[in-house]
Amino acid sequence: MLVRKPYFPIVLAAFVTLPGVVVSLAHAELSAPLTAVLSGASIMAAAFLLVWACDAAQADVSQALALAVVALIAVLPEYAVDMYFTWQAGQFPDGDYSQYAIANMTGANRLIIGVAWAVVAIIFWVKTRRQVVLEEERRLEVRFLAIATLYAFLIPIKGTLAWYDGIVFVGLFVWYIVLAGRRPRAEELEAEGPGAYLCSLPRVTRRVWTILLFLFAAGAIVATAEHFCEGLLGTGKAFGINEFLLVQWLAPLASEAPEFVVAILFALRAKAGLALGSLLSAKLNQWTLLVGMIPGVFAVSSGTLQHPLPMGQFQMQEIWLTAAQSLLAVVMLATLRLSIGQALLLFTLFAGQLVAPGVVEAFFDGQVMGFRGEQMHVLFSFLYLMGAISLVVDQPQRLGHLFLWRRPSGQRTDHPCV
Global confidence as pTM: 0.87
Domains and CATH numbers, the chain: 2-403 (1.20.1420.30)
- In 3-state terms, what secondary structure has residue 132? strand
At 259, which amino acid appears? Answer: E
- Comparing CA positions, the residue from 249, 276, 252, 255 lying closest to residue 264 is 276
Rounded mean pLDDT, 139-151: 95
Cβ–Cβ < 8 Å for 258, 48:
yes
Residue 345 — very low, low, confident or very high, per pLDDT cuts 50/70/90?
A: very high
The C-alpha atoms of residue 46 and residue 257 are separated, in whole angstroms, by: 11
The C-alpha atoms of residue 310 and residue 272 are separated, in whole angstroms, by: 40
pLDDT tens figures, 361-406 = 877 777 777 777 777 889 999 999 999 999 999 999 898 888 775 5
pLDDT tens figures, 170-226 = 999 999 988 887 766 544 446 667 888 888 889 889 889 988 998 998 899 889 988
Rounded mean pLDDT, 58-80: 66
Instruction: Check residue 38 and give its pLDDT.
Output: 94
Which of 73-82, 260-269, 310-319 has maximum average pLDDT? 310-319
Instruction: Check residue 61 and give its pLDDT.
Output: 65
pLDDT at 413 over 70: no
Rounded mean pLDDT, 40-58: 84
The C-alpha atoms of residue 377 and residue 156 are separated, in whole angstroms, by: 14
The C-alpha atoms of residue 107 and residue 109 are separated, in whole angstroms, by: 5
pLDDT tens figures, 72-95 = 666 678 888 999 999 999 999 888
